[in-house]
Amino acid sequence: MTAPAEAPIIEPGEFLTAEHRIDPFPLYRKIRDWEPVYRDQFQNRFVVTRYADIWDAYKRSREGGDFTRAVYDPKGRYEFGSESPLGPTILEMGEGAEHRWSRGIVAGEFVGRKLLTWLPVIEGTAAEMIGRFSVEAAESLAGGLAGRGEVDLVSQFSQRFPIRVIAGMLGLPREDFDYFEGIYNTLFAGMGYGRAYFRSAEQAKIALHDYLTPILAARRADPTDDLISKFVTAEMSGEMMTDDQIKAFVTLLLVGGGDTTHKAIDAMWWNLLRHPEQYEAVRARPELMDRVFTEMLRFDGSNHYQQRRALRETELGGRIIPMGASVALCLGSGNRDERVFRDPATFNIFREDLYFGKELRTGYWKDGVASHLGFGQERHFCMGYAMARQEAVIASTMLLDVLKNPRLKDVPNDGIVFPPPGKGGVRGLLHLDIEFDL
């Protein structure tokens, strides 16, 4: 598709339409072509849509750079955590020593060899949950309730899977898993809009913190090999985490690692089932599931935007950004930039212009091969990137065995969408109904 010769009119209201919620890509394309750093007057922000400009903004968001992620007011007028039901977490920090310490003291648990020690938790949780829905499907078939295997992958598996993995890693008693999941659901609902939701999420946060108090005390007295024991004993530069910091981090783990990972699994299957030849290739060579994860994050990953703020008047993509202005890095658009990816609107796990190697915090972009932007880049690069990949790839590979001859059930589905108004969460499927042979 070539761009029209005459500049189209871009209305800020286009970001808020029902069509955009489902398919934002035509608007992204128009902006990339005609006003790549777009002044959105409705939401009072600059939307950055080209891969190169997003890359540039990330590189200039290091300490002393032109942009920051800090949402709090460095002069102290903003109370840290006051606008999030999560309370103060690393997500509100900018760059620099405080952020480096808060991230550094826990980040090692989620990558490399330490991550490998958690694989039995991931595998065990996936096997148990997948086993459960396949038994239910077999019983429905035997009882004449269904003529074939059926599952809504979202409600019967993916939505709950990452939360139960986190509960297992934290070392919570199994009988508490449902309670923990319930707290997560209320907390999560508060990530939408409206004071009522915010208040009930704050209550859930308080309940979670209260629930954790005796567990932290027990692990401090008698550490085991679970994640809470690692947190209470971790030390960096002679300092340890306070109970409040650990509780805030557990809350963040739930919210940052739950919805994103569940939607990653759903999107992998949605894309595979709509591309039968790629599904067959993965079936024949399950190690290709890693590629499915990577291409899924490029094609339509869960996080389309990351927020930054200009620390001084500066130029980005040929546009002057005033000091203090809000800048939305549109990862969803950068990942579809035809200046970087050939035929970007096609899902293709065999594409040669995408970097399929292990994610790099500083990104990869040379010789016509570029990283996806789905985990961000640089200082705030997703801390759970390797864990999310392991969860999604392990679970999806197990699903390959159980879902024999899978096909999308013939029910209406808008596909991968931004959450409906008032509902929190990242972009993804709301349900995914699959039929399969037993």
Q: Is 373 exposed, middle or buried (0-12, 13-18, 19+ CB in 10 A)?
A: buried
Q: Which stretch binds ligand HEM (CB under 6 A): 30-38, 235-243, 300-308, 413-421?
A: 300-308
* Span from 72-80, 219-227, 279-287, 376-384 in contact with ligand HEM (CB under 6 A): 376-384
Cα distances from 339 to residues 53, 241, 342, 357, 373, in angstroms, run 12, 45, 8, 21, 14
* DSSP codes, 100-155: HHHHHHHHGGGSHHHHHHTHHHHHHHHHHHHHHHHHHHHHHHHTTS-SSEEEEHII
Nearer of residues 30 and 45 to ligand HEM, judged by Cβ? 45
* Contact region with ligand HEM (CB under 6 A), list: 116-124, 147-155, 369-377, 430-438: 369-377
**3-state SS record for 399-436:** HHHHCEEEEECCCCCCCCECCCCCCCCCCECCCCEEEE
Q: Identify the residue among 130, 387, 393, 399 touching ligand HEM (CB under 6 A).
A: 387
Question: Minimum CB separation from ligand HEM for residue 43, in Å?
Answer: 17
Kindly tell me the sign of the dihedral angle through the C-alpha atoms of 43, 45, 50, 56.
negative
Residue nearest to ligand HEM (CB): 384
> Tokens 């970097």 label which residue?
355
Question: Is residue 383 close enough to count as binding ligand HEM by CB under 6 A?
Answer: yes
Select the span of 14-22, 228-236, 314-322, 381-389 touching ligand HEM (CB under 6 A): 381-389
Q: CB nearer to ligand HEM: give 149 or 334.
A: 334
Interatomic CA distance for residues 313 and 321, integer angstroms: 6
Q: Tell me how far, at minimum, the Cβ of 29 lies from ligand HEM, in Å.
A: 21
Residue among 306, 348, 371, 396 that touches ligand HEM (CB under 6 A): 306
Residue 395 as a binder of ligand HEM (CB under 6 A): the answer is: no
103 binds ligand HEM (CB under 6 A): yes
CB of 318 to ligand HEM, least distance (A): 23
The region of 168-176, 233-241, 352-360, 371-379 touching ligand HEM under the rule CB under 6 A is 371-379
Helices (H) and strands (E) in the chain, counts: 17, 14
Compute the least distance from the CB of residue 99 to ligand HEM, in Å: 6
Q: How far is the CB of 425 from ligand HEM (least distance, A)?
A: 12
Distance CA 160, CA 178 (A): 10
Three-state SS for 354?
Answer: strand
Give the three-class secondary structure for 370.
strand
Q: Which is nearer to ligand HEM, 228 or 264 (CB)?
A: 264
* Paired residues of 434 in beta bridges: 151, 408
Kindly report the number of other CB atoms within 10 A of residue 6's CB atom. Answer: 7
Min dist CB 426 to ligand HEM, Å, is 7
Binding residues for ligand HEM, how many (CB under 6 A)? 25
> What's the DSSP call for residue 302?
S
Q: Please give the full DSSP string across 147-187, using - where no structure is assigned.
A: SSEEEEHIIIIITTHHHHHHHHHHT--GGGHHHHHHHHHHH
Q: How far is the CA of 434 from the CAs of 116, 123, 161, 279, in angstroms?
A: 31, 22, 17, 14
Write out the H or E segment, with its range, that includes residue 310.
strand 305-310
Of the candidates 155, 245, 303, 397, which one interacts with ligand HEM according to CB under 6 A?
A: 303
Q: Which is nearer to ligand HEM, 137 or 310 (CB)?
A: 310
CA distance 33 to 29: 6
Considering beta carbons, is residue 137 or 167 the nearer one to ligand HEM? 167
Residue selected from 24, 149, 344, 376 as contacting ligand HEM according to rule CB under 6 A: 376
Choose, by CB under 6 A, the member of 46, 51, 110, 279 that binds ligand HEM.
110
CB of residue 172 to ligand HEM, shortest distance in Å: 16
For ligand HEM, the closer CB: 168 or 384: 384
Least Å from the CB of residue 428 to ligand HEM: 10
Identify residues 62-91 at the interface with ligand HEM (CB under 6 A).
69, 90-91
Give helix 195-221 / helix 243-257 axis angle, nearest 10°. Answer: 120
Convert residues 319-358 into a mask of x (bound to ligand HEM by CB under 6 A) and - (unbound).
----------------------------------------
Give the footprint of ligand HEM on residues 210-269 (CB under 6 A). Answer: 252-253, 256-257, 260-261, 264
CA 84 remoteness from chain centre? 18
Q: Which residues bind ligand HEM (CB under 6 A)?
A: 69, 90-91, 103, 110, 252-253, 256-257, 260-261, 264, 301-303, 306, 374-376, 380, 382-384, 387-388
